[in-house]
Homo-oligomer: A and B are copies of this chain.
Amino acid sequence: MNQLFDQLKTQPTATVRAQIRACAYAGHTAGLGKNMLQANLAILPASHALDFMRYCQRNPKPCPLVGVSDTGNPRMTTLGHDIDIRTDIPAYYVYRDGMRAETVTDITGLWQDDFVAFALGCSFTFEHALEAAGIPVWHVENNTTVPMFASDIPTVPAGPFGGATVVSMRAIPDARVDEVIEISKRFPMAHGAPLHVGDAAEIGIADINAPDWGDPAPVPSGTTPMFWACGVTPQVAIMRARLPICITHKPGAMLITDVADDAETTILTA
């Protein structure tokens, strides 16, 4: 898998998605499809799609909506030239009645005529911009998963969707905090500016060394912990809604789109 990953790193998005579609690659997508927007996935029955769209609209920082399929249509035409959402994600989680039931690499057999697929922006986009500005991000340099925490910041509910905002933490050199705020603010479709900067306890995080998801990351002296709204938030909202069935990507294994990650909108034109 690692050898294939190294080969895919230099390939265009169509080649990467072809390998994923063939189930030849089922790993994480950080560093693949360079400079292209990557997205979180949520697939729900149409009966809950309007409420879920409202939930995304009301919580644009954790849930920046970058694409929505037609009901029953697995093609995401505004995000790419040939995206089939049933096959083009490396790995999927299937939830039944709010509980994670299966992990699969293809959902063709599970697809329903009433399914609606939602793609939501992810933090890879602004992490690329931080890298480009020469700002070190520990979990990227150490090849671990960013630490994520359930905060006490509530989301704005819609129908059965609600709950706490999940945040991801990056410890940034004190002198570069303002610059990092400005850079991330430029990417509203990738969580935007941080929700909180500084003391973790102020947003209900008891132990910064014990993340609820992902791996711990140090906060050395001379750095400030910065907290961004995180794409795990809608996954928690979906589990909480206890839908009979819903499907998400496996965290880290994202949809790679054909939209440039610095495009003005996430809608592919021509």
Q: How far is the CB of A73 from chain B (nearest CB, A)?
A: 11
**Which residues of the other chain, B, contact A246 by a CB distance below 8 angstroms?**
none
**Which residues of the other chain, B, contact A249 by a CB distance below 8 angstroms?**
none
Please tell me if the beta carbons of A60 and B188 are within 8 angstroms of each other in the complex.
Answer: no
Copies of this protein, total: 2
Q: How far is the CB of A52 from chain B (nearest CB, A)?
A: 10
Q: How far is the CB of A180 from chain B (nearest CB, A)?
A: 15
Q: Given the interface contacts A68-B54, A70-B54, does A60 sit within 8 Å of B267 by beta carbon?
A: yes
**Which residues of the other chain, B, contact A71 by a CB distance below 8 angstroms?**
50
With the chains together, A265 CA to B70 CA distance in Å? 26
With the chains together, A47 CA to B67 CA distance in Å? 21
A85 within 8 A of B: no
A49 within 8 A of B: yes
Q: Classify chain A: how many residues form its interface, as a range.
A: 20 to 34
**Which residues of the other chain, B, contact A49 by a CB distance below 8 angstroms?**
50
A65 within 8 A of B: yes
Chain A 55-69 near chain B by CB (<8 Å), digits 1 or 0: 001111100010110
Chain A 108-124 near chain B by CB (<8 Å), digits 1 or 0: 00000000100000000
**Which residues of the other chain, B, contact A188 by a CB distance below 8 angstroms?**
188, 264-265
Please tell me if the beta carbons of A264 and B185 are within 8 angstroms of each other in the complex.
Answer: yes
**Chain A to chain B: the 10 pairs with minimum beta-carbon distance, closest first:** A50-B50, A60-B265, A53-B53, A54-B68, A57-B68, A58-B78, A49-B50, A57-B65, A192-B264, A58-B267
Chain A residues packing against B (C-beta within 8 Å): 46, 49-50, 53-54, 57-61, 65, 67-68, 70-71, 78, 116, 156, 158-159, 185, 188, 192-193, 264-267
